[in-house]
Structure 1
Amino acid sequence: MGNFQYGSQYYHSFETGSLASARSIVPIIMKLAEPSSVIDIGCGVGAWLSAFRENGVKEILGVDGEYVNRDLLHIPPEFFLGADISQPLDLGGKRYDLAICMEVAEHIWHLSAGVLVDTLTKLSDMILFSAAIPWQGGTHHVNERWIHYWIELFEQRGYKAVDAIRRKVWNSPDVEPCYKQNSIIFCTQEKLDNIVNLQREYERTDLNMISIVHPDIYLTRLAQTGMITLNSYKKLDKKIIVFGTGGISEVICNNSNIQISYFIDNNKKKWGSNFLGKPVKSPEAILEESKDSFAVIILSSYYQQIAKQVKGFGLEENTDFWNGLLEYNE
């Protein structure tokens, strides 16, 4: 982080997704370890800490740059501490049941990565950690690394990697792809010895399969190259309905020169809202369309599940609906 400052627009751009992700992941952590105190290093506007408060954690502290607008905080301002997290942090020996650092480490230069890990390990015996992998992309990402890079730094300080989160949220529509892909727990041997569920998850952890890429991350990056568009569907001469309102859909639709009628999505919270200036409806909306008058283009890594769903509406693959992620730019 250092001299780079993040403004209100930066935090607005992802706070909804962060909060929804936290509300899915925090209950997993609570069931696993039942922390009663949590500190968040690089807390931004405090979305993750607010989710811990919703789950009964009363003692919290968020640490991030002085530039964070206090009016945007999801936590009371007295639970926020302004500090440069790329520098050593001294809280007088205070320790917490859990320290978290979510999609923050990639913003800190390589030479300060050890400082950040020192801060986290001095604050807790258990750390929930997530950091961007190479070519994941983002604002001021100066140190994108494979998870093994961070595992080595934590191992040097006596902490072991526990892959307890990712398989539980890998297919969750409520969790942002970066958290599905990168969320790892680091903890001491003493913590493993004292928490049976954590020990079980450690025994299931396969370090040979720890550095993996989520399909949504891969496809979004591929789409950003302009290799995937919807332009070839113009020849259908039908009303175009897009199934999916995630990051992949946004990139592909923005890269396409085609008129989209509306979007459909399984997330009920999105129904009635707008996406890229078009309405978002329930998938059942296509039942009101005249047969052969429309084409559904599925823009989601969960194509097989969605295809089964729309087949239940009487639609035929490659006649009424298509996998938009297989159509390369012509």
Structure 2
Amino acid sequence: MRVRTSYEGPLGDLFAHRATDSAYNAHTDRPAVLALAGDVAGSSVLDVGCGAGHYIAELRARGAAEVVGVDGSETLLAHARERVGGDPGVTLRRHDLEEPLTFLADNSFDAVVMALVHHHVEARRQLLSEAHRVLRPGGVLLLSTTHPTADWTWHGGSYFDEERVESSVGDGLTISYRRMTLQTFLNELLDAGFTLERVAEPRAVEAARHIDERRYLKTRQTPFFLAVRMRKTR
């Protein structure tokens, strides 16, 4: 299975649009992950599953010296190129995230961001191992995913089901991703050599209320995402 190839064309355009100012992407996930990132001034950052470049733009605005964005969707990368323009501090590359990041050197980044892409990937352990490899000693991994409780609520069945599911995102479009338990999620990160530093269950920031009050209120009652800050300690 190849990661995010379905995010081409209309689906890629839809997500590029939603990530710009949606209650969930722009005002729930992104503020939480950037808060976990802390000060990135002068840092070299890898954005795995960079999508339309929203994180890249934010990281550069916050002083990151270099950001490398990698994604499997040419549609999303086209949006990213438009967003970052000719910024010399940004490199974008199309790559299937089911494959190792062999074009990146060991110990070459201060931080790796994996925002809402991890659950789409089948080769998760390989990808986490690659993130560990390219991080410098003491580097941080910032990762967000769908919340296991939310998946259980939406898709039903047993909480311990870890099947691949599809969800409608409107306009006749669907996305596919892998459910996982909290146990699976955390243990795969620990097995890859990371130490857990912080956990966040993001709720929408106040700005979301003015965009979509219904979704804003939903995030205040139901966990949608789970975000962690991990450190490379071995």
- Match for residue 93 of structure 1 among 75, 85, 106: 106
Q: Once the 2 structures are TM-superposed, how far is the Cα of residue 157 of structure 1 from its aligned partner?
A: 2.2
Say whether the 8 Å CA contact 2:46–2:113 is kept in structure 1: yes
Equivalent residue number for residue 127 of structure 1: 141
- Structure 1 residue 172 and structure 2 residue 205: aligned? yes
Say whether the 8 Å CA contact 2:37–2:229 is kept in structure 1: no
- What is the one-letter code of the residue matched to 2:2? G
- Structure 1 residue 104 and structure 2 residue 117: aligned? yes
Equivalent residue number for residue 91 of structure 2: 79
Equivalent residue number for residue 20 of structure 2: 15
- Match for residue 37 of structure 2 among 1, 5, 29: 29
Q: Once the 2 structures are TM-superposed, how far is the Cα of residue 108 of structure 1 from its aligned partner?
A: 1.6
- What is the one-letter code of the residue matched to 1:92? A
Specify which structure has the higher proportion of strand.
2
- What is the one-letter code of the residue matched to 1:149? T
- Structure 1 residue 159 and structure 2 residue 194: aligned? yes
Equivalent residue number for residue 115 of structure 1: 126
Distance in 2 of aligned mates of 1:35 and 1:5: 35
SS at match of 2:189: helix
Q: What does 1:126-145 correspond to in 2, within 5 Å?
A: 126-132=140-146, 133=148, 134-135=151-152, 138=167, 139-145=174-180
Say whether the 8 Å CA contact 2:41–2:62 is kept in structure 1: no
The alignment's C-alpha RMSD in Å is 3.0
Equivalent residue number for residue 157 of structure 2: none
Q: How many residues align?
A: 185
* Distance 1:102-1:174 versus aligned 2 partners, 3 A rule: farther
* Distance 1:24-1:144 versus aligned 2 partners, 3 A rule: closer
Q: Once the 2 structures are TM-superposed, how far is the Cα of residue 146 of structure 1 from its aligned partner?
A: 2.6
Distance in 1 of aligned mates of 2:57 and 2:34: 10
- What is the one-letter code of the residue matched to 2:38? M
Instruction: For residues 115-152 of structure 1, give each alpha carbon's deviation from its aligned partner in whole angstroms, at most 9, with x where no partner exists.
Output: 22112111223100111133457443331213321211
* Distance 1:51-1:179 versus aligned 2 partners, 3 A rule: farther
Equivalent residue number for residue 264 of structure 1: none
Say whether the 8 Å CA contact 1:24–1:174 is kept in structure 2: no
Distance in 2 of aligned mates of 1:27 and 1:35: 17
Say whether the 8 Å CA contact 1:107–1:142 is kept in structure 2: yes
Question: Could you tell me the TM-score, scaled by structure 1's length?
Answer: 0.49
Distance in 1 of aligned mates of 2:47 and 2:183: 22
Q: Once the 2 structures are TM-superposed, how far is the Cα of residue 11 of structure 1 from its aligned partner?
A: 2.6
SS at match of 2:47: strand
- Structure 1 residue 146 and structure 2 residue 181: aligned? yes
Bigger Rg over Cα: 1
Distance in 2 of aligned mates of 1:107 and 1:20: 21
Question: Could you tell me the TM-score, scaled by structure 2's length?
Answer: 0.66
- What is the one-letter code of the residue matched to 2:115? M
- Structure 2 gaps of 5+ residues are 155-165, 168-173, 209-215
Q: Once the 2 structures are TM-superposed, how far is the Cα of residue 52 of structure 1 from its aligned partner?
A: 0.8
- Structure 1 residue 183 and structure 2 residue 205: aligned? no
Say whether the 8 Å CA contact 1:130–1:179 is kept in structure 2: no
* Distance 1:70-1:64 versus aligned 2 partners, 3 A rule: closer
- Structure 1 residue 55 and structure 2 residue 66: aligned? no
